[in-house]
A and B are shown apart, each in its own frame.
Chain A
Amino acid sequence: MIQTKNLIKTFKDGDAETKVLKGIDFRAENGQFIVIMGRSGSGKSTFLYQMSLLDYPTSGQIIINGRDTSTMSSQERILFRLTQCGYVFQDYALLPELTALENVVLPLLMQGISKKTANTIAKEALTKVGLSHRFYNLPSHLSGGEQQRTSIARAIAHKPKILFADEPTANLDNESSKAILDIFQELHRQGQTIIMVTHEEQYAMLAQKIIRLDDGKIVFDTKN
């Protein structure tokens, strides 16, 4: 379970202050597929960064599985990202000098898993996203859709409690986008908690719950 209470995020630029999140109260239960929508600049990505502990909120609380994350040290936050959550970036965020397999293996090795086991797990994850023929390709030799699927494989390989996805289909064509959404749906069917940011209305229909943000506030919270 992940919950935010009166979450505020303000950016400072000299004397100017921009309040991007204006007191968000939110709750996601385990196993839910939640889509966060909103127009550009509404704060949806910023909200995702706070929940995935990539960034620090200005004030408010983020509670994950009963633990107030404001009490976590930076090492605990890194450990949380390594073991408890998976993150799919909009621009894939693959490491260019690592093959698809190595990109997926790396976080597993960081968890102390042996190289052999990590390779097996990574291959399973890549096979799951339809990339069994691309293990040894560098990202530069993969299409955008394949890179995003590699990114998803990396995010799910260690079976995270929560999967965050920041506009995972924004840079993809329709066919690739559909393939990515199919993977998300399959993961959700298997019980994976997914929190996805998107601005594409048609994909929102796949979610159990839709959150709509506008000007840093939740203006719409509904269940499909």
Chain B
Amino acid sequence: MFEKLILNSKIGLFLAFRQIKRSSWWTTGLIVFVMVLTFLNLVVVSGILVGLIEGSISAWHKQYTGDIIISSLANKDYIENSPNIVNLLKNIPDINQVSVRFNKGVILEANYQTKKTSDKSNTASAQLIGINPDKENQLTGLAGHVTEGSYLNSSDYDQVLIGNFLLKQYVPVDNPGFSALENVGVGTKIRIILGDVIKEVTVKGILKSKVDNVSMGLFMIDSEVKNLIGRNDGNATQIAINLKQNTDPLKIKSTLILAGVNKSAKVQTYVDAQPKFLKDIIATFAMLGNALSSIGLVVAAITIFIVIFINAITRRKFIGILKGIGINGQAIEIAYIFQSMFYAILGSSIGLLIVYLGLVPLFLAHPINFPFSDGILVAPFLETLIRVGLLVFATLIAGYIPARMIVRKNTLDSILGRN
């Protein structure tokens, strides 16, 4: 039984190889081209969908949370014993960078000097974030997001960096529930209003980012913010942490929990800290990606079915001759299976080269400019290989069915072209 299968496979390979070798290069090229497109449809469409969110997650991770973020408990405005926690972090060798932040919701006002009593106030709500400019820049590369003006240094006491979405000229849509400052640019003086406390500051730079915490934040040096919000005990609102390469954030999270940090603060990895809407979108897009991939797979299977069916129909006479001279039907079926596999594997291989040598580096270098993220192409190699496997399996079945249909026909009818 097994020997017979081996023999039939050898004959199938013999026939398939010669049929492909001596078939029209145009036809083979066209079939392989269709398979390449099918493969790209299978990998790229869902990859871009996932990449769109992955870009957002990656930006959230790199530009704001770091690998781990410690933040105040739900019922607190700050992290108790923050200085002790910071000291603890200094003693954990796998930690690379730490940035301590002091946050507070504030109102910003501009053009107050020229405003008439009857004029509408030029105000916006913002999150004031007190930072150590050097440490924050090391952790999140914040300086790289300054598109106008310049970054803060530790002696910029009355100066701020303002997120672009707090400025009218950068807000793409006029949202009735959202206000932004008008006529504000680098060098403009604005007021920070926190209850009864008002502080006048100068805009030193404008930050452009697709992470809301940056694009809707007002960054100032930490000592100034602490004075403004009256928090001189050193208790911070957030502590962002970057780990050394190849360190598992979960491991450090466990270390921090073991040390009792979770009693006074929330300890989250960047995955835990993802906003719920992002998690929901990931799940939705993954489902959408899988649905689109399934359709792609069905299209691929139908394509191969049609190709092999037409091939087998037009070669029906020769299939009859093969059976007539004593070639086993299984060997003929295997020949068509090998042909289908050839088209699928060659198409997928070319597709793999296009994806990994072309599209992935291209999208990394030039991400798609979506409003809320820089979309990249996400194509994890193992997942892609699974898709290749699925594609090959689907085409194998799609190649086998029409071959079997034709092989089962009466030998003499096939030779004579009778129905």
Contacts and interface: CB of A to CB of B under 8 A. Distances in A.
Contact of B11 (A81, A83, A93, A106): A106
Contact of A110 (B11, B21, B23): B11
Nearest to B7: A112
Contact of B415 (A78, A93, A110): A93
Contacts of B356: none
A54 B411 contact: yes
16 contacts: A49-B412, A54-B412, A55-B411, A78-B326, A78-B329, A81-B324, A82-B325, A83-B326, A89-B415, A93-B321, A93-B325, A97-B19, A97-B22, A106-B14, A106-B327, A109-B14
A209 B132 CA distance: 111
Given A55-B412, A106-B325, 9 more contacts: A54-B411, A81-B325, A82-B327, A89-B321, A97-B22, A97-B23, A102-B18, A107-B325, A138-B22
Contacts of A138: 22
B294 interface: no
Contact residues on B (Cβ < 8 Å of other chain), bracket = 20 to 34
Interface in A69-124: 75, 78-83, 87, 89, 93, 95-98, 102, 106-107, 109-110, 112
B323 interface: yes
Contacts of A106: 11, 14-15, 325, 327
Contacts of A83: 326
B11 A109 contact: yes
B10 interface: yes
Which 3 pairs of residues, A with B, have the shortest CB-CB distance?
A82-B326, A97-B22, A81-B326
A95 B7 contact: no
A54 B324 contact: yes
Nearest to B23: A97
B1 to A, nearest CB: 12
Contacts of B411: 54-55
B327 A107 contact: yes
Interface in B320-354: 321-329, 331
Contact of B331 (A87, A93, A110): A110
B7 A110 contact: yes
A3 to B, nearest CB: 21
A27 B351 CA distance: 63
Contacts of B21: 97
Interface string A202-222: 000000000000000000000
Interface string B7-48: 100110011001101110000000000000000000000000
B327 A110 contact: yes
A109 B10 contact: yes
Interface string A48-81: 0100001100000000000000000001001111
A78 B328 CA distance: 7
Interface of A is mostly: helix
Contacts of B415: 54, 89, 93
B326 A107 contact: yes
Given A87-B325, A107-B325, A95 B331 contact: no
Contacts of B170: none
Interface of A: 49, 54-55, 75, 78-83, 87, 89, 93, 95-98, 102, 106-107, 109-110, 112, 138, 154
Contacts of A87: 324-325
Interface string B71-84: 00000000000000
Contacts of A75: 328
B319 to A, nearest CB: 10
A85 to B, nearest CB: 8
A151 to B, nearest CB: 10
B318 interface: yes
Contacts of A81: 324-326
A79 B326 contact: yes
A95 B412 contact: no
Given A54-B415, A55-B412, A96 B318 contact: yes
Contacts of A89: 321, 324, 415
Most buried by A among B21, B323, B325, B329: B325
A112 B23 CA distance: 27
Nearest to A154: B325
B13 to A, nearest CB: 11
B331 to A, nearest CB: 7
Nearest to A74: B329
B141 to A, nearest CB: 61
B326 A95 contact: no
Contacts of A107: 325-327
Contacts of B410: 55
Contact of A97 (B7, B18, B329): B18
A87 B411 CA distance: 14
Contact of B323 (A78, A95, A97): A78
